[in-house]
Amino acid sequence: SLFCSFTLWKMLWTKLKISLSLSAGQMTDLIYTEKELVQSLKEYIKAEESKLAAVKSWANKLDVLTRVSTSDPEGYLAHPVNAYKLMKRLNTEWSELESLVLQDPSDGFISNMSVHRQYFPDEEDEKGAAKALMRLQDTYQLDSESFSKGKLPGVHSSAFLTVDDCYDMGKTAYNDADYYHAVLWMQQSLRQLDAGEEAVVSKADVLDYLSYSVYQMGDLPRAIELTRRLVAIDPSHQRAGGNLRYFERLLSKQLIELKQVYQPASEEPIQLGTYARPKDHLPERETYEALCRGEGVKMTNARRSRLFCRYRDGNRNPRLLLKPVKEEDEWDSPHIVRYLDVLSHEEIEKIKELAKPRLARATVRDPKTGVLTTANYRVSKSAWLEGEEDPVIARVNQRIEDITGLTVETAELLQVANYGVGGQYEPHYDFSRKDEPDAFKRLGTGNRVATFLNYMSDVEAGGATVFPDFGAAIWPRKGTAVFWYNLFKSGEGDYRTRHAACPVLVGSKWVSNKWIHERGQEFLRPCGLTEVD
């Protein structure tokens, strides 16, 4: 560094002052020493200029990027690729810039970084954003190339993923032993490298991960072909040779056991559908995801003929007499209705304003303990708002009571949820089942008899509320609300109401919901004569 060079110069000058009787030869040595110091100084300046040029390049790139993103933050983040790259940039790339600047500390920059660092996403956040893209890929059957080029249904955007982005996506999956997605993303990284795109990651690194992931998917011929390609690129690769011999022995053994002849690997490139997606914990996964795509909806002409729209005045409720609410049937059995113009734009903005400072990872109620806890199958941010906090919340609570004819005195607080990139809530019941009797014990208000769900935003793509049991899909419409009963009049759970919030593909989904409980409804919704009335 300049300080070291200056210190050395000072030491030499001090020594020169002390020993002025040095010979001409020795003086000559000092000349060359000085020259070396000058060269050292030049190298330092060159290194600083190189570093400054790199920082300037970063600044220019990020200046352009932030001008675009800040011009319409919600619109920018509506694209899942932009959301993922923001997470990646703040967690990984800004840290690299920090390391670059730290080579010769810049107090102003570092103090600024220290102040803002606490608000940056961490590694888990970046990993979560990557998994969100994979979740969208699965649900909406999008190949990696569509994401890489920013080509999403009905969206025209310049958002794209580089070779290194795709590689990092693949590596995230690989580190989770998710070889299915690792193959898809490493293949896309390789495809872009083969097309001549520049990258930090080497083709050998991509082939290393890809070949082993393909092997884990059970495709030995293709794993051998990819490993041979890796050996050709890097003959000294520490694992490639051993892996190749192992794969070849394994394939030979399999062919002998099955009495088959060797078939070379398919020349078709790996794409969505090449390998079967592994099964997971959700039995209705395929039905649920098909409904999210708008497929398999069981809305027949006969059923549609039984759906009507009407005005409701809440049994001549004085607050609804002059302005009755518009009600539309969404489904006949179980009966699901949608109410129009339930929330105004101003009310929605106020609710969002109150909720935003408190948004935290959404929770579910543990069926055994009744305690709220986070779960991987619910990915959103939520906040709970009390009626006393603001007249708007009190007014919304009163409106729900007027429309439904049920008391909200024993209902849970208004829950506001925001589903961002890949945000979802997998199939679940709102009510507690017989095997989880303590789910709402702490509340002392009985089971959740009904759900009132306000849609506070339109969603560009995805984000439907679906009911896999009977094949219904309800799409968000800002200002409307949907309502259904979770329990029969007997208090028995209606198991048909198992539902899900589909992942948001493009956009941001805001909802608020009121879970209405049994206590207080005894005379407002009396028991029926049978269990299923």
Is residue 380 in some structural domain?
A: yes
Which domain CATH number covers 211?
1.25.40.10
Of residues 36 and 441, the one with the higher pLDDT is 441
Whether residue 420 sits in one domain with residue 302: yes
pLDDT reported for residue 362: 61
From the number of C-beta atoms within 10 Å of its C-beta (0-12, 13-18, 19+), residue 360 rates as exposed
- Measured CA angle at 437 (ends 436, 438), to 5 deg: 95
Q: Are 155 and 147 in contact (CB under 8 A)?
A: no
Q: How many Cα atoms are found within 13 Å in the side-chain-facing hemisphere of 515?
A: 19
pLDDT reported for residue 7: 43
CA 64 to chain centre: 25
pTM reported for the whole predicted model: 0.81
Whether residue 422 sits in one domain with residue 339: yes
The tens digit of pLDDT for each residue in 171-187 reads: 999 999 999 999 999 99
Mean pLDDT of 264-286: 88
Whether residue 247 sits in one domain with residue 380: no
pLDDT reported for residue 5: 40
Closest CA to 457 of 85, 83, 150, 78: 78
Whether residue 305 sits in one domain with residue 239: no
Query: Cα separation of 175 and 92, whole Å?
Result: 17
Is residue 532 in some structural domain?
A: no
Which domain CATH number covers 429?
2.60.120.620
% pLDDT > 70, the chain: 87
Backbone phi and psi for residue 162, each to the nearest 5 degrees, phi listed first: -80, 175
Q: DSSP assignment, residue 322?
A: S
Whether residue 437 sits in one domain with residue 296: yes
Query: Cα separation of 79 and 158, whole Å?
Result: 10
**Total tally of structural domains belonging to the chain:** 3
Whether residue 441 sits in one domain with residue 476: yes
- Does residue 20 surpass a pLDDT of 80? no
Count of CB atoms within 10 A of residue 69's CB?
15
Whether residue 52 sits in one domain with residue 114: yes
Is residue 233 in some structural domain?
A: yes
**Residue 50 domain boundaries:** 24-118
Query: Cα separation of 454 and 13, whole Å?
Result: 79
Is residue 73 in some structural domain?
A: yes
Is residue 131 in some structural domain?
A: no
- Does residue 113 surpass a pLDDT of 90? no
**Beta-sheet pairing, 336-340 with 325-331:** antiparallel
Whether residue 247 sits in one domain with residue 382: no
3-class SS of residue 515: strand
The tens digit of pLDDT for each residue in 189-225 reads: 999 999 999 999 999 999 999 999 999 999 999 999 9
